[in-house]
Amino acid sequence: MRRFAALALLVVCAGCAANPAPPLPAVPAYPDFMYPAVPGAAGSGPSESIERGWRFLQNDNLQAADREFSAALGRAGFYPARTGIGYVALARKDFAAATEAFGSALKAAPAYLPALVGHGQALLELNRDQEALDAFEAALAVDATLAGVRQRVDVLRFRGLQDLIERARSAAAAGRPDEAVRAYEQAVAASPESAFLHRELGILERRQGHTDAALGHFRRAAELDPSDAAALIDVGELLEARQDLSGAEAAYRRAAALEPGSRASARLAAVLERASEARLPEPFRAIPASTQMTRGELAALIGVRLEGVLRTAPPREIVVTDAAGHWAASWIALVARAGIIEPFANHTFQPESGVTRGDLAGAVRQIVARLASDRPGLRPALTEQPAIADMTASHLSYPAAAAAVAAGVMPLLEGGRFSVGRPVSGAEAVEAVGRLRALAAGSR
């Protein structure tokens, strides 16, 4: 009996010696795999099987590795062995089987690091990027020093961010704004420090009329990228629309400092003018809504919007007897001295009298003549004789109407008529004075 036992032991030992586990190679076959360490309480037997399986695996003997890891599975739920089997499947490129094996190991030990890393690798091969990212991030939560895993996380996050940006832009271009906003919000959550994402989301929110959200994103974009003049202009425009002129001015000033001569400079000039006009008397601010422009209102409008032009005119001594105490008295004096709007023969200005298209044309002609002294290109407008259906060249108001039409300040009405006696509204006067300002700026 003793001889039989000794013989059996000799046979077993000979079998073991026939296929011993090789040492670990200098260059492992799978350097990205993580050794499935056995917890201390498992005992030496399973540990030895895991060690042999790992050596076979790193020597690329997958059949022997699978045999050793499977042998270690004798104890139900032995997750290091399940993890080893997962790595063998991963080496065989059987990614579905690898995912199943790693998943089984993680059910038994959710924070087992080798299984988390292997699971992430298998999911990545199956193009299940988000699940792979979740697995790698869980691994980093266990051990933040895993440089290779962190690199994979960074790549996956960037890849996911690019996908989100492409989805957002495609949805926006296809007219699916709600879908685009959701994709942008996910992208911002993934990369909250990306200024351009906040700006693009702000543009989309603004198009949808969500001005509060848009303003928040534009402000954040400008904070993250202080050189983003476009975001600052967007901030200024939204604040200007809310009548926050001081806030708009500050935003435009910053943008103009970054890009002198840009759209910001024009917006800054406009908001400064609005701020200045906001301090003017209430009757002036009501001019655009007026259905019947008065001579006093026209004097104020020209005096404010074209002050620089009027100041260049040689001053004349003018007597006006009825402007004292009127809210537009200073501008009445200014336009009268410049010869733009003449007082009547009895030295009254009659500031509450209504303005007709003929009256407005007379003022326009005087201003065009003043501008033409420095701009030869405007001089033909003073001598052209355009066809006007309701007046001949001998009409008393024809020279003024012709100049206003030829200069592009007052277009003809329906049927090519000028309608010299038609009342002028505040909006019409504002539009005409705006065209005169464009001429004064040399845009013609």
Give the CATH number, domain containing residue 250.
Answer: 1.25.40.10
Query: Token pair of 127, please?
Result: 């193009």
Answer with the one of 250, 278, 306 that is the final residue of a domain: 278
**154, part of any domain:** no
343 with 411, same domain: the answer is yes
pLDDT at position 84 over 80: yes
Q: Which of 145, 177, 211 is the last residue of a domain?
A: 145
Q: Which residue has the tokens 């030895």?
A: 48
**Do residue 297 and residue 432 come from a single domain?**
yes
In a domain, 165, yes or no: no
Domain presence at residue 174:
no
Give residue 220's domain range.
Answer: 193-278
> What are the tens digits of pLDDT across the range 360-393?
999 999 999 999 988 888 999 999 999 999 999 9
As for how many domains the chain has, the answer is: 3
pLDDT of residue 44: 57
CB 160 within 8 A of CB 127: no
Average pLDDT value for the chain: 90
Structural domain contains residue 59 = yes
For residue 73, give the nearest of 34, 104, 28, 110 by alpha carbon.
Answer: 104
Taking the C-alpha atoms of residue 306 and residue 370, their distance in angstroms, rounded to an integer, is 11
The answer to whether the CB of 136 falls within 8 A of the CB of 149 is yes
Domain shared by 273 and 405, yes or no: no
Report the pLDDT value the prediction gives residue 47, as an integer from 0 to 100: 82
Exposure b/e, 349-375, CB count within 10 A at least 16 = b: bebeeebbbbbbbbbbbbbbbbbbeee
The mean pLDDT of 385-414, rounded to a whole number, is: 96
Q: How many residues does the chain have?
A: 444
* 355 and 385 fall within a common domain: yes
| Model pLDDT, residue 63 | 96
Task: Confirm if 356 and 413 have CB atoms less than 8 A apart.
Answer: no
Give yes or no: residues 295 and 402 share one domain. yes
Q: Is there a single domain that holds both residue 309 and residue 428?
A: yes
**Residue 180 counted as domain residue:** no
262 and 342 within one domain: no
- Are 257 and 296 members of one domain? no
Q: Does 292 share its domain with 430?
A: yes
Q: Are residues 273 and 296 in the same domain?
A: no
Query: Do residue 333 and residue 366 come from a single domain?
Result: yes
CB 347 within 8 A of CB 410: no
Per-residue model confidence as pLDDT tens digits over 111-164: 999 999 999 999 999 999 889 999 999 999 999 999 899 989 888 888 888 888
Instruction: Please give the pLDDT value at position 136.
Output: 93
**Is 159 within the bounds of a domain?**
no
**What does the pLDDT look like over 414-440, one tens digit per residue?**
999 999 999 999 999 999 999 999 999
C-alpha to C-alpha distance for 175 and 213, rounded to whole angstroms: 19
Residue 307 has pLDDT above 80, yes or no: yes
Distances (CA, A) of 32 to 35, 68, 186, 370: 10, 20, 31, 83
Residues 395 and 331 placed together within one structural domain of the fold:
yes
Give the Å distances, CA to CA, from 242 to 21, 215, 358: 78, 11, 37
Domain end position, chosen among 246, 278, 310: 278
For residue 423, tell me if it sits in a domain: yes
Q: Establish if 321 belongs to a structural domain.
A: yes
